[in-house]
Copies of this chain bind each other. A is one copy, B any other.
């Protein structure tokens, strides 16, 4: 019906190895499910498969922790090798307390453990780092989708972030291409003519959250496809999820 949003999981991609063409894998899997990608759809890809395709896996057995990491790990009750990786991926520690390590990553994301994740990456001691530049990853996958499936789609790279004040996680966009990440209504008005100064729905984050609802956590669904967001698609790749980062000067919580 009019204005409806649809989100479908893309299963059947299988394990992803370094160097693989994720756009092709996802496009083929969607076609194999009888629901090929179409122009104007948003393909939400989980950070973990992007990290795998980009070789961002690290065996903790190869990591040596320095004294700072070792001390912080002891304080937090964490694996010092893991803490070393987190610090290596970060530009600052925001909070280190009660077993929780919140940092600002080199990309500018504030999240627990620099987004490094141990679950579902295969191998007891293998962890996945965030992509070096998930906006670039999104642009590449968007190109791959165009080249292999022949579709003009948008791409969001999604990761599960915890939130202050609220329990649990919601997926957010750490990378994005071809989609208005932030729909800024500043200067536009509501139905009573009042200016909507602060209204700016984070479309890419909400798309990531919607996609997460079809990805059951132990099922390894690496992607979801959203239709119904055509009005937010752009011809250019655009500024990406970088446009969702709040500048430190405008942030009250770091």
Q: A interface vs B, CB < 8 Å?
A: 1-9, 11, 33-35, 95, 97-98, 100, 102, 109-110, 112, 118-124, 160, 162-172, 182-185, 188-192, 194, 196, 198-203, 205-207, 209-210, 212-214, 217-218, 220, 228-229, 243-246, 250-254
A217 contact from B192, B199, B202, Cβ within 8 A: B199
Q: Which interface residue of A170, A183, A209 has the most chain B CB atoms within 10 A?
A: A209
- Is the pair A210, B7 in contact by a Cβ cutoff of 8 Å? yes
B212 touches A206 (CB 8 A): yes
Which B residues touch A122, using CB under 8 A?
192
Structural contact, B202 and A169, CB atoms closer than 8 A: yes
| Inter-chain contacts of A124 with B (CB < 8 A) | 192, 194
Instruction: Using known A-B contacts A4-B6, A190-B120, A192-B122, determine if residue A213 contacts B207 with beta carbons closer than 8 Å.
Output: yes
Which residues of B have CB within 8 Å of A167? Answer: 182, 200, 202, 243-246
Q: Which residue of B lies closest to A206 (CB)?
A: B209
Q: Quick one: given A8-B1, A110-B165, A200-B167, are A218 and B120 in contact (CB under 8 Å)?
A: no
Give chain B residues whose Cβ lies under 8 Å from the Cβ of A218: 185, 188-191, 196
